[in-house]
Amino acid sequence: MASFGVDTRPATAASGGGGGGGGGAGAGTGEGALSFLSRSLREDLRLIRARAGELETFLNAPVAEPELFARLRRAYSSSASSARTRLDLSAIGKAFEAESWRGARGQARWRWEEEAEEWEPVRMVKARLRELERRQGQSASDMLHKVKLSLKSMSFAPEASEDVPPLDLGELFAYFLKQSVPLFDQLGIKRDVCDKLVESLCSKRKDHHAYNFQSTSEPSSLRNDNVGDELDLRIASVLQSTGHRYEGGFWRDEQKSDISDKRHVAIVTTASLPWMTGTAVNPLFRAAYLAKSSKQNVTLVVPWLCKSDQELVYPNSMTFNSPEEQENYMRNWLEERVGFKTDFKISFYPGKFQKERRSIIPAGDTSQFIPSKEADIAILEEPEHLNWYHHGKRWTDKFNHVIGVVHTNYLEYIKREKNGAIQAFFVKHINNLVARAYCHKILRLSGATQDLPKSMICNVHGVNPKFLEVGERIAAERESGQQSFSKGAYFLGKMVWAKGYRELIDLFAKHKSDLEGFKLDIYGNGEDSHEVQSTARKLNLNLNFHKGRDHADDSLHGYKVFINPSISDVLCTATAEALAMGKFVVCADHPSNDFFRSFPNCLTYKTSEDFVARVKEAMTRDPQPLTPEQRYDLSWEAATQRFMEHSELNKVLNDSNNCSGGGGGTELDGSVGRRMRKSVSAPNISDVVDGGLAFAHYCLTGSELLRLSTGAVPGTRDYSKQHSSDLRLLPPQVQNPIYGW
């Protein structure tokens, strides 16, 4: 009954209440019930009509589906309290059907739009295909155009060009002569002869406007350089106009290390502390001051000697059990003198000591101990020494820029040996060969060295800062009126005849009477010490011999005059140190002392009589204090600045695109108004010659018989088992296996 909306509770109560009455009472009760039902039905119908009107209003309103449910819930919640509410839900069903139709129509529209969007990638692929077809057509047309140009260039009919005139036979021959200068150097033909021939051939060209000759009043060297540059520019311009690009020569290896944000500099030298020699001390200072700028990573590569060789080389029988122990000694010694914490890496390569030449010879390929990722810039201290017997990768192939620093005048030492003239002849040409083949730029400390190819003269060495401090202290004492110099004259150096001892004894023996009463203290140790001292005693010379000691020792600060008669030195470090301490220096008028001439306390002599006069002059007056500019010129800061400038290292470090090193990378202004590189536009015969020399040297040094016949230490082509054990390397038979018998 509830489904029909009939309330049964009043009827039940009425019938129950009249159950005990008669028949009249039962008829009255039935009529009351029917009237109640009719009233209820009428009320229900009224409520249905009211709710239907509200539903019609709801259905006609443009609301979204969630809003419709919310309004329906609010409508029914207001009548929830009325238990008699009855409602026909057909209208609601129709409303939902209409809403579902609109939703389905919208969903269908959304699905159609989604399906339409799925075609967009297809359209992109089609567009890419059309673009590819267009580019292929364009490349085909470009290729056809290049083929036409090539056919035109093969035509024998001359085609005049107003911008770049064609080369003639004279220019080609002149260029061949200019590029063949390295070969002529090896044959002994002077460069001036080649330069004059090149200038003569270029001057015969009819259109002289192609060459901008300088005035005849200019020096010949400047005119020759100008003609050479103009000829290079002509060749580069013609080649560039034809579209030719030079990709490298037969000998060149273009696979070099990539240039990272921070450059790597490897300094390779031939000696290490505690051997107090120039090639051990100066590269150590160079590494410290190059690393001080923090613009580049620096690695110092020094030789490692086995215990038996250490006992022969290092003073006071000092030996090291491991490379780490020697590295700590080197760092402590250096930091005590420079006064700052050093920030560079120290690596070791195998070396063997040669008693006859008193030098260390590398064992194996030295370049392999520098990782390829760090093979960027190499500084070879004594490049000729390092490469005499070098049998390995070419330095200029592995490194982007290679700089050589010449320390020693080997020809001067060799001439003093037996058959020295013949040996010096061969060594001179070998030095030329290795300099050309393995370096881009060479710096000679003074004019006392051999004139090597690609070289220039510049002093790139400084003095220990401790000596400059001693000079400042002595100058302050003199200003305050104190007596700074309480001793006379002294000489300090390794006691071998070639280090100036022969010249010193000859001067004192010749002018024994003129130097009567003058005594000279000599400090040094060496192989010839016994013979030198016995000779001085036989001649009864006023020479007092003492054991060798560090020049910075306090016992040497009181001397006023430093005497150095040596003419075998390239740039005497002891002379620079004496000047830094404010002393007089009496030295020979020799190219090795050219750098020191500008200092007022440097007294040079040409004859033995001048020597006596200079010694007396120095003993009778006081030296002048150094000016700040003179102190700076002697410092390692100034030496590093000179090195960066003259080796072009500063330019290389600042040029992130310079990967070809220093050889043949000069840029010239072309007549077409843009920059060109000769190394890119034109082949360089000099590179071909250098590569051929390097290949020939590699073949010769690979023969053990030829190595021994030229004075090499036996077994230095590869390192030994002891070296592999000390340096933790692969065994020699694994590193360099021998196939066959």
Q: What is the pLDDT of residues 325-379, one digit of tens each?
A: 999 999 999 999 998 898 899 999 999 998 888 899 999 999 999 998 899 999 9
Q: What is the pLDDT of residues 52-85, one digit of tens each?
A: 676 666 656 554 545 555 555 555 555 444 444 4
Q: What is residue 515's DSSP assignment?
A: T
**Confidence label for 623 from pLDDT (cuts 50, 70 and 90):** very high
| Averaged pLDDT for residues 479-502 | 88
Q: What percent of the chain has pLDDT over 70?
A: 68
Long-range contacts of range 276-283, CB-CB < 8 Å, 24 or more positions apart? 276/315, 276/550, 277/494, 278/407, 278/461, 278/573, 279/381, 279/382, 279/407, 279/408, 281/573, 282/381, 282/407, 282/461, 282/573, 283/379, 283/381
Rounded to a whole number of angstroms, the distance between the first and last alpha carbons of the chain is 119
Mean pLDDT of the chain, nearest integer:
77
| Averaged pLDDT for residues 560-578 | 91
Compute the Cα dihedral for 180, 185, 188, 194 and give only its sign.
positive
Residues 334, 338, 341, 343, Cα dihedral to 10°? -70
Of these ranges, 30-34, 37-41, 98-102, 677-681, the one predicted with the greatest mean pLDDT is 37-41
Task: Give the span between the Cα atoms of 289 and 296, in whole angstroms.
Answer: 11
pLDDT confidence of residue 294: 72
- Contacts with 587 (C-beta within 8 Å, 6 or more apart), sequence order: 563, 564, 565, 572, 575, 593, 596, 602, 603, 604, 605
Q: What value does the CA radius of gyration of the chain take, rounded to a whole number of Å? A: 49
Q: Across the beta sheet with 520-523, what order do the strands follow?
A: 543-546, 520-523, 487-492, 559-564, 584-588, 602-605
**Confidence label for 241 from pLDDT (cuts 50, 70 and 90):** low
pLDDT confidence of residue 20: 42
Q: Which two tokens stand for residue 241?
A: 């106009």
Q: By mean pLDDT, which of 112-121, 276-285, 399-408, 631-640 is the weakest?
A: 112-121
pLDDT confidence of residue 525: 87
Assess whether pLDDT exceeds 70 at residue 737: no
Q: By mean pLDDT, which of 106-115, 242-251, 344-353, 388-397 is the weakest?
A: 106-115
Q: By mean pLDDT, which of 425-434, 478-487, 582-591, 596-605 is the weakest?
A: 478-487
pLDDT confidence of residue 86: 45
| Averaged pLDDT for residues 85-104 | 50
| Averaged pLDDT for residues 427-432 | 89
Query: What is the Cα 211 distance to its own chain's centre?
Result: 38
Please give the residue that has the higher pLDDT: either 566 or 111: 566
**Residue 510 to residues 324, 491, 564, 740: CA-CA distances in angstroms?**
51, 18, 17, 66
Of these ranges, 157-166, 201-210, 312-321, 672-681, the one predicted with the greatest mean pLDDT is 312-321
pLDDT confidence of residue 550: 85
Q: What is the pLDDT of residues 199-231, one digit of tens each?
A: 777 776 545 444 544 444 444 444 455 566 677
Q: Are strands 667-669 and 675-677 parallel, antiparallel or unpaired?
A: antiparallel
pLDDT confidence of residue 539: 92
Assess whether pLDDT exceeds 50 at residue 38: yes
Question: Is 285:334 a contact under the CB 8 Å cutoff?
Answer: yes
pLDDT confidence of residue 70: 59
Q: Which two tokens stand for residue 281?
A: 């001390």
Provide the angle, in degrees to the nearest 10, between the axes of the packed helices 169-179 and 220-241: 120
pLDDT confidence of residue 93: 52
Assess whether pLDDT exceeds 90 at residue 113: no
pLDDT confidence of residue 268: 97
Domains, the chain, in order of start with CATH, read 166-203+227-237 (no CATH), 264-462+687-727 (3.40.50), 465-634 (3.40.50.2000)
pLDDT confidence of residue 211: 52
Quick one: which of 560, 546, 541 has its CA closest to 603?
560
Question: Is 282:573 a contact under the CB 8 Å cutoff?
Answer: yes
Task: Give the span between the Cα atoms of 687 and 667, in whole angstroms.
Answer: 17
Query: What is the Cα 453 distance to its own chain's centre?
Result: 24
Assess whether pLDDT exceeds 50 at residue 665: no
Q: Which two tokens stand for residue 41?
A: 């039905």
Q: What percent of the chain has pLDDT over 90?
A: 35
Q: By mean pLDDT, which of 483-487, 585-589, 600-604 is the weakest?
A: 483-487
Assess whether pLDDT exceeds 80 at residue 156: no
Number of other residues whose CB lies within 10 A of the CB of residue 47: 17
pLDDT confidence of residue 631: 93
Q: What is the pLDDT of residues 382-392, one digit of tens each?
A: 999 999 999 99
Please give the residue that has the higher pLDDT: either 157 or 567: 567
| Averaged pLDDT for residues 565-575 | 89
The CA angle 322-325-327, to the nearest 5 degrees, is 110
Assess whether pLDDT exceeds 90 at residue 97: no
Of these ranges, 2-11, 527-536, 682-691, the one predicted with the greatest mean pLDDT is 527-536
Of these ranges, 41-45, 237-241, 324-328, 429-433, the one predicted with the greatest mean pLDDT is 324-328
Assess whether pLDDT exceeds 50 at residue 157: no
